[in-house]
């Protein structure tokens, strides 16, 4: 008797940018094609702003006969959405679909595949050993998430043939893009490549490009380019499939040493053990949460941590070494 493998559910942030949402959907199809020979069904949904909502994606998989899912957050850092919103939303879906088992994977992080793609984008932007790189992340109210961007910048500096790598954020955290560029110039940079730390295009990556262009116009003595986002690639698809396998095997290595939902950090003491609150998509019945403000916000101030920090999520499994 042949056993149907668990389905893969790819969970995205969502964007009000049509192109960005379409790139996510195209990427989900790419992963599906790569897993088709193994008989794995792949679905994808968003936490907010874009269709389909995560709950609709789960309902479609359940309607197709799947009673076990492995969910992978399609995010580069473990901020509020990956830590709280998605696990809480999945727990809610388990209440809607009794008997549904869900294994939760980890975000992509500064994986060697991601670092290789960043180096590819630098090469496309003609970065050389005299170029200083400014890696620009989303930004969060979660210091651990911001530290992940700093870690990625350091790993990139260790593996790319460039003069150095600084980091900045486009929202919610300092330094911003102009301040990051000021720092690069103060360090003596005369060639700078701004490298968006984003998977797909969207409101925030476009804002990175706009702020870069504005700074460059005021500093004609510095050559500045803005690189492309990581994008829809086979390499990225294979990394998601790797995270899918980890989730099924229970081989999840979360770094919780500085997680504000587990450890009391100065200024963030109130976050320890904070409760999970599902992030309701506007399409969910009975809810009218308005997300028309765009994607520059972060909800990590309102949610607890989704991987076994005193919060139970039924069949959502998380393991730590």
Q: Which two tokens stand for residue 161?
A: 């043939």
Cα separation of 148 and 99, whole Å?
Answer: 35
Q: Taking 50 as the threshold, does the pLDDT of residue 311 lie above it? A: no
Least confident of 123-132, 179-188, 272-281: 272-281
- What's the pLDDT score for residue 289? 38
Q: Mean pLDDT, to the nearest integer, of 4-22?
A: 94
Phi, psi dihedrals of residue 298, rounded to the nearest 5°: -145, 135
Cα 192-195-198 angle, rounded to 5 deg: 170
Cα separation of 195 and 122, whole Å?
Answer: 7
Q: Mean pLDDT, to the nearest integer, of 244-268?
A: 74
Could you report the per-residue pLDDT of 296-307, keeping only the tens digit for each? 333 333 333 334
DSSP letter (8 states) at residue 81? I
Which pLDDT band holds residue 32 (cuts at 50, 70, 90)?
A: very high
- What's the pLDDT score for residue 267? 76
- What's the pLDDT score for residue 280? 55
Could you report the per-residue pLDDT of 182-237, keeping only the tens digit for each? 999 999 999 999 999 999 999 999 999 999 999 999 999 999 999 999 999 999 99
Domains of the chain by range and CATH?
7-108+233-271 (3.40.50.1400), 112-226 (3.40.50.1400)
> Which range, 138-147, 278-287, 303-312, is most confident?
138-147
pLDDT higher at 29 or 271: 29
Nearest to 31 by CA among 46, 60, 17, 10: 10
Residue with tokens 């309902």: 59
- What's the pLDDT score for residue 258? 55
SS (H, E, C) 210-267: HHHHHHHHCCCCCEEEECCCCCCCHHHHHHHHHHHHHHHHCCCCCCCCCCCCCCCCCC
Nearest to 123 by CA among 252, 234, 258, 228: 228
pLDDT higher at 175 or 312: 175
Nearest to 130 by CA among 195, 184, 181: 184
Could you report the per-residue pLDDT of 184-193, keeping only the tens digit for each? 999 999 999 9
Reported pTM: 0.82
For every residue of 13-77, DSSP letters joined together read: ---S-HHHHHHHHHHHHHHHHHHGGGT--EEEEESSSSSSBHHHHHHHHHHTT--EEEEEE--SS
Cα separation of 193 and 209, whole Å?
Answer: 11
Task: Mention every residue, 6+ apart, whose C-beta is less than 8 A from residue 12.
Answer: 24, 44, 45, 46, 47, 50, 74, 75
Q: Taking 60 as the threshold, does the pLDDT of residue 70 lie above it? A: yes
Q: Which two tokens stand for residue 310?
A: 């005193």
Could you report the per-residue pLDDT of 127-178, keeping only the tens digit for each? 999 999 999 999 999 999 999 999 999 999 999 999 999 999 999 999 999 9
SS3 call for 196? strand
Least confident of 25-29, 40-44, 49-53: 49-53
Q: Taking 50 as the threshold, does the pLDDT of residue 318 lie above it? A: no
- What's the pLDDT score for residue 83? 86
């Amino acid at each position: 008797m042949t056993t149907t493998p668990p389905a893969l559910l790819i969970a995205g942030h969502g964007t009000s940018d049509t192109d960005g949402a379409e790139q996510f959907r195209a990427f989900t199809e790419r992963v599906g094609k790569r897993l088709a020979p193994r008989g794995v069904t792949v679905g994808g949904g968003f936490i907010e702003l874009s269709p389909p909502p995560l709950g609709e994606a789960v309902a479609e998989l359940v309607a197709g006969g799947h009673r076990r899912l492995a969910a992978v957050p399609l995010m580069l850092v473990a901020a509020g959405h990956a830590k709280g919103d998605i696990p809480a939303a999945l727990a809610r879906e388990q209440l809607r679909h009794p008997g549904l088992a869900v294994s939760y994977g980890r975000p992509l992080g500064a994986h060697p595949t991601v670092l290789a793609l960043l180096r590819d984008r630098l090469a496309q932007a003609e970065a050389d050993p005299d170029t200083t790189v400014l890696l620009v992340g989303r930004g969060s109210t979660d210091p651990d998430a911001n530290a992940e961007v700093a870690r990625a910048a350091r790993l990139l500096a260790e593996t790319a043939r460039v003069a150095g790598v600084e980091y900045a954020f486009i929202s919610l955290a300092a330094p911003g893009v102009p301040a990051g560029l000021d720092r690069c110039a103060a360090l003596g940079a005369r060639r700078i490549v701004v490298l968006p730390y984003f998977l797909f295009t969207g409101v925030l990556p476009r804002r990175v490009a706009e702020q870069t262009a504005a700074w460059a116009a005021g500093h004609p003595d510095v050559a500045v380019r803005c690189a492309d986002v990581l994008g829809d690639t086979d390499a990225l698809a294979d990394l998601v499939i790797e995270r899918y396998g980890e989730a099924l095997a229970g081989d999840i290595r979360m770094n919780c040493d500085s997680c504000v939902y587990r450890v009391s950090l100065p200024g963030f003491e109130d976050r320890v053990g904070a409760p999970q609150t599902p992030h309701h998509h506007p399409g969910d019945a009975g809810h009218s949460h308005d997300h028309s403000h765009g994607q520059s916000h972060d909800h990590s101030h309102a949610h607890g941590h989704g991987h076994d920090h005193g919060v139970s999520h039924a069949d959502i499994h998380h393991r730590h070494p």
